[in-house]
Structure 1
């Protein structure tokens, strides 16, 4: 499948100054898997008020009408770039109106001597957009996410709630005096005490939010007034004693505890969807605790309150028995029968009450397999359009229109650096940044050196508050344009401040609207999947092409080659991690093994020399043949080679998380085809979880090409 130049809409024509007089689009609640971490700042919100906020998915009867209303109408160029998603459209509207007035005035002056030029019918921008709409381009892709019937019958057992808190009665100290606490107060204080040896207590944000949570549960009249005078040592020592008790349990006792736990969870682990038995993802409701979050999350340390059944919506088949509420004295908040969604239960996130947590089927379910296949096929399809898109944004970098140049720069960064698009945040959300929400102080323009490289340093908090810090070489035009955007606002009236947006004339919504004019369902996030997959395929191909007999290479070396390619993808996608706590200890053990093995090899070399001279004897005094010693030497040298490789790879990958790109971004068929082609056990690359998740890809041919 290839793109047609006559039907594609160039960036230079599509990008126009945005104007808006309509209301901003409603913000959709985020979909958070039930196992995602969260916490709460809504303890004082009445349950009825929280329940009122919960969305009621459309019924199957309303699905047809919803589908009709969701279809995008054929829009003019002006309509495509209208909206208020960026919050900057009023300024742009004034600029556009001034520009139109100037053009009209110029036209009146030149009208007397000007001759009208004939335009070929159907060649205008509006006609192209109409043709795109007719061919399915520019329309929102309709997938199985609440827009079609996904199942006929659905039976499951609901969700499992954590047990109620059991007070331990150990008193903490305040100003060297024992303090009485209620169970609710003790629960919060114990959660904080148990964090004693973690890095969280070194983070000011965590400590500040945790202290606010303590003050909220203690009340104004409590004797505890300052965190500095609190001594949690008694509770910490109780915690260590409890851990030691568990360690001292006999094998039979541990087995009994595990059996009891498995028996309590057994019925929640599976559900019946139509005629098949499917595994449920995470059926557990998270227990209360101090929110940890990822990266430098601004809400870390807040108290994640307990979730009760009245807050939970159950989605189940009409003919199925409604699961019994497992918490005595409580009942489900709502029971519904929506055949257009694939989740089994949902509730408001205790930390971000506007977001929802869902219980979905496991990663190896048929729904997820179909979704994954569609995602990777969409990324493959981008191959047919990518050159056209790149040609258009390179042309847009030279435009006289500043908004067009901003959009061209943003698309370049999304494509070449795999940056996320970035949407605007509300005041109570984490101030994370993406490409379209970069601020002036997130970007530093490095001086052009003698090598002529144009480099920019990016430094910002990305998704999950993970820091993105990278020095990237970019095209000269992108460099000069971005530098220009950092100096003055879009209207040119004032100099930009460090906190101002770099791209202040467009938003991620504009970028995604533009992408849909190239390819149905195309959005900025498809580029990450495409670039991750195409990069992996390219690196593996380069490694294998470099050696004629790659299949004969040891498996450990092929695994190391794959990990190096995986590492480059992870770096591209900013999948970083802090150095694991046990890394230093693990490396010390490896070095000790390595030192011992080096000595063993040295000794065997000496023995081999003696054996060749007929002088080497074993422990019993018998002479040993040189061939026998040589065999031992070869095996020891092979072990030494593997151990050195293991140490090098472990050190090389200590700050990179390989798993995220494997799970979410790299087409698994690339890996499976490579393993088949070069006789590498797939179990060396994919763990059991990934083998189960990507069962649908296992039948791909060794010749598969992304």
Structure 2
């Protein structure tokens, strides 16, 4: 299909009266819509023929958001000199329990060009306390160790740390302040943080899970420097799981064409439903999206025309609103399910997928990453992608090649069909592969991020970037000098290390590379490269990824263009963190300094994002919470003054909350009263539900009425206190206890203000991409130890699982 986005033909023009029947006016909708992400579980019968291939196929790895590079041979690098020390959580974040590795003959050493799989050799025996040279390659083309059957395993005593995730959440997400009810101050007013870290009935379960993971395969200790071409000896898995087949809509749900119901066969109805679910999204406002969808749908309609003979030729006459309304009603039904019903559905889904979640790699059970085949739907793309709206076809067993061990049983697909092929290549790490129809890119199924193979790949990638420190000054001096040499076209093209881009973009790049920041010879070279080229032509039309990486490899073995990106990001990040003066800083000040450095690196890597639609709403909620904290402190101050007016003379207690006025206090207390009443009603209903389950008599409504009356009396008391600076304190509170509560709230207010600033400054920057792909995780692990920052504050559980090897560096480690 053509990638241009010209107008629809005359045949597809709008009706004479200008009415658009697509379920929205003029093809434009607003509001929410049924989510249609790349991972949704909608289905499609494969009926569209394959698209015309692009000029050049591009490998697309399902677990990587980075650019693609040609795998190159690796070169030895210096062994890290710092010793590793244990970090809590590293053991728990590794693989599932291991078993004895089975022995088998090594398979062939066929090479594969893959970003995640490099070349490696048979691992050497590791000698204690002796440095071993590392064989490394760039980025995702990483040499992977083939773990020996006799790889050392150690039994690790299960850790029983208090749930860090809950603790982190409590510290970061400040709860909405609530007024005092029942004559007792809220725990967060007086005793804020005292109960942080305590589990809520889950301690035994967590301990049991940790005890089951006693035997952990610590590959970074067993053989971190392996460098051979064989990645595994035995591999057994259950393939991939396909999405369920399409189920036709109820007979009363039909799209309309020119105002009349249309009876569509399942194949055509399914594709119409893909669009119907999106009519109130931004996608339905996009001309290119609509054009690509309609063109592909017409191809489906040719093979599976409407059963009532309707001829669908004009997009504007199509009304998908009935489909959208049905999908919304189904969403509402699912949302209305009880917690137990949702739990049962989730359990059924998990049970069905259980066998696909793990594989046996050299006798060890390891988790599989993306084992679900993407369901069919409409392609979204990023930004102004010319193919957005195109139809993503259903992937079938006939499209998929599996990679398993020679002696492993061939898995049976969960839908009718036979696998495209079965291979036994132990020089690659993927388990399954296929080609998607939109961009003809290759999709792969790999092991999970926390697996030994993936961990080795990540570690080698960052070590390669770290090795570049020893070469980068010389490399930059070389190509800067070559730019001034007599004109040699190919040399200059390669030495400038720029990938192909259109001539029209070169003006922007010339502005970015101004003489104030770089040599004017760059301008001269770009002027030469622009000669005899149109705006859409490639500026460096004779430079390819392969030729560029070949040149880089002559500068440093194993070097690719992407290694520069990883090096620049990590080196800059390390420098920015080292420049921060955090002596005496609070935890939130440390977190803000870290996030600021992360933002600057994300900007360097151009990891931008559009401001989230909910940002303003989110910031307004934070401002209300901020004022709520000040309200709580104000009530404690007034209570302290009521005990003894001498405290009014103490500076840290006499400062009033000038940004909360009487009108705001009235509104805030009304909101708090409504929330307290709602909470009482829910608690009452839950108590009665429990009594009914136990065959006991439920409580009378009078019990709830009494609770509500008590809440209303408390808020009447608060209303009487408005405008007063001295109030009576209920309960047995001492001045010391009130002062302690005021001090804690003051710190929370200061910390929350920093959170607000951090949230607002990061609204246009995507921090996750650089943290996952370009920032050496050991920088963060070492920094956390130096500044006594819990790793959970900066690395999610997913990242801790992905980088367990990085968690054990010491405070002396530097990138």
> TM over 0.5: same fold?
yes
Once the two structures are superposed, what CA deviation does each residue of 1:25-56 show, in whole Å capped at 9, x if it has no partner? Answer: xxxxxxxxx97999999955489x9xxx999x
Once the two structures are superposed, what CA deviation does each residue of 1:490-519 show, in whole Å capped at 9, x if it has no partner? Answer: 7xxx55443343345644443322211121
Alignment of structure 1 residues 66-77 onto 2, 5 Å: none
* C-alpha distance 611-403 of structure 1, shift in aligned 2 (>3 A): farther
Q: Is the 8 A contact 1:516 1:522 kept in 2?
A: yes
- Residue from 198, 204, 214 that aligns with 2:287: 204
Partner of residue 566, structure 1: 598
Distance 2:521 2:41 in 1: 40
* 2:198 pairs with 1:161: no
SS in structure 1 at match of 2:360: strand
**Deviation, structure 1 residue 613:** 2.3
Distance 1:247 1:36 in 2: 16
Partner of residue 143, structure 1: 143
Alignment of structure 1 residues 67-466 onto 2, 5 Å: 143-144=143-144, 148-169=229-250, 170-219=253-302, 222-328=310-416, 330-353=417-440, 355-403=441-489, 406-407=492-493, 410-411=496-497, 435-444=498-507, 456-457=510-511
SS in structure 1 at match of 2:496: helix
Partner of residue 746, structure 2: 637
SS in structure 1 at match of 2:433: strand
* C-alpha distance 638-61 of structure 1, shift in aligned 2 (>3 A): closer
Distance 2:517 2:753 in 1: 45
Distance 1:540 1:571 in 2: 16
Distance 2:400 2:568 in 1: 39
Distance 1:295 1:145 in 2: 38
Distance 2:487 2:370 in 1: 50
SS in structure 2 at match of 1:261: helix
**Deviation, structure 1 residue 165:** 0.2
Q: Is the 8 A contact 2:626 2:752 kept in 1?
A: yes
- Residue from 542, 546, 555 that aligns with 2:587: 555
SS in structure 1 at match of 2:247: coil
Once the two structures are superposed, what CA deviation does each residue of 1:494-549 show, in whole Å capped at 9, x if it has no partner? Answer: 55443343345644443322211121110111001101100110000000xx34x2
Once the two structures are superposed, what CA deviation does each residue of 1:343-386 show, in whole Å capped at 9, x if it has no partner? Answer: 11112213233x32111111111111111111111101100001
Q: Is the 8 A contact 2:500 2:538 kept in 1?
A: yes
Once the two structures are superposed, what CA deviation does each residue of 1:279-336 show, in whole Å capped at 9, x if it has no partner? Answer: 00111111111111223222111111111111211211122111122213x2222122
SS in structure 1 at match of 2:507: strand
Distance 1:224 1:35 in 2: 30
**Deviation, structure 1 residue 702:** 1.1
Partner of residue 594, structure 1: 626
Q: Is the 8 A contact 1:312 1:333 kept in 2?
A: yes
Distance 1:212 1:685 in 2: 46
Q: Quote the RMSD (CA, aligned, Å).
A: 3.7
Partner of residue 32, structure 2: none
Please identify, of 382-391 and 309-318, the stretch whose mean Cα deviation from structure 2 is larger. Answer: 309-318
**Deviation, structure 1 residue 403:** 2.5
Distance 1:650 1:143 in 2: 39
Partner of residue 559, structure 2: 522
Partner of residue 678, structure 1: 787
Q: Is the 8 A contact 2:272 2:297 kept in 1?
A: yes
> What TM-score do the two structures reach when normalised by structure 1?
0.70
Q: Is the 8 A contact 1:281 1:362 kept in 2?
A: yes
Distance 2:574 2:42 in 1: 36
Which contiguous aligned blocks of 4+ residues in structure 1 show a shift greater than 6 angstroms? Answer: 34-42, 64-67, 135-138, 621-624
Q: Is the 8 A contact 2:639 2:727 kept in 1?
A: no
**Deviation, structure 1 residue 163:** 0.8
Partner of residue 464, structure 1: none
Once the two structures are superposed, what CA deviation does each residue of 1:562-592 show, in whole Å capped at 9, x if it has no partner? Answer: 1111111111111112222322221111111
Distance 2:804 2:448 in 1: 13
Distance 2:513 2:638 in 1: 53
Partner of residue 585, structure 1: 617
Distance 1:311 1:346 in 2: 8
* 2:525 pairs with 1:481: no
* C-alpha distance 250-624 of structure 1, shift in aligned 2 (>3 A): closer
Q: Quick one: higher RCO (CA 8 Å, sep 6+), 1 or 2?
A: 2
Q: Is the 8 A contact 1:137 1:518 kept in 2?
A: no
Q: Is the 8 A contact 2:107 2:426 kept in 1?
A: no
Once the two structures are superposed, what CA deviation does each residue of 1:214-240 show, in whole Å capped at 9, x if it has no partner? Answer: 211122875221111111111111011
Distance 2:142 2:810 in 1: 29
SS in structure 2 at match of 1:317: coil
Partner of residue 419, structure 1: none
Q: Is the 8 A contact 1:280 1:360 kept in 2?
A: yes
* C-alpha distance 247-65 of structure 1, shift in aligned 2 (>3 A): closer
* C-alpha distance 629-301 of structure 1, shift in aligned 2 (>3 A): same
Question: Unaligned 5+ residue runs, structure 1?
Answer: 1-33, 73-134, 412-434, 446-454, 458-471
Distance 1:704 1:665 in 2: 17
* 2:539 pairs with 1:502: yes
**Deviation, structure 1 residue 654:** 1.1
Partner of residue 689, structure 1: 798
SS in structure 1 at match of 2:365: strand
